[in-house]
Amino acid sequence: MGDMRNLGPKSRQWLAEIGITTFEEIERLGSVEVYRRLKASRPREVSFNMLYGLEAAILNIPWQYLPQDVKDQLRTQIE
């Protein structure tokens, strides 16, 4: 997965554990589906910050710059 913005070594390890090893897979599946799979695999460790980081990675922006309305839409899709 190389140096994908917003996803550090631990995130990449968790992704690999659920069979996601490329950025293209994240783009294809989308942040919500990847988050759901990660949350099912690691319910205590995975938080909404992972969801935001995944979406920001897809958008190629720092996760801190993800607009609040986008965060709200993502959370709505999860709940």
Element (H, E) at 62: none
Cα–Cα distances (Å) from 63 to 6, 31, 50, in that order, read: 6, 13, 9
**Which of the 8 DSSP states describes residue 64?**
G
How many CB atoms are closer than 10 A to CB 16? 11
Kindly report whether the global pTM for this prediction surpasses the value 0.85: yes
Taking only the tens place, the pLDDT of each residue in 51-70 is 999 999 999 999 899 999 99
Q: Which domains, and CATH codes, for the chain?
A: 9-78 (1.10.150.20)
pLDDT of residue 21: 92
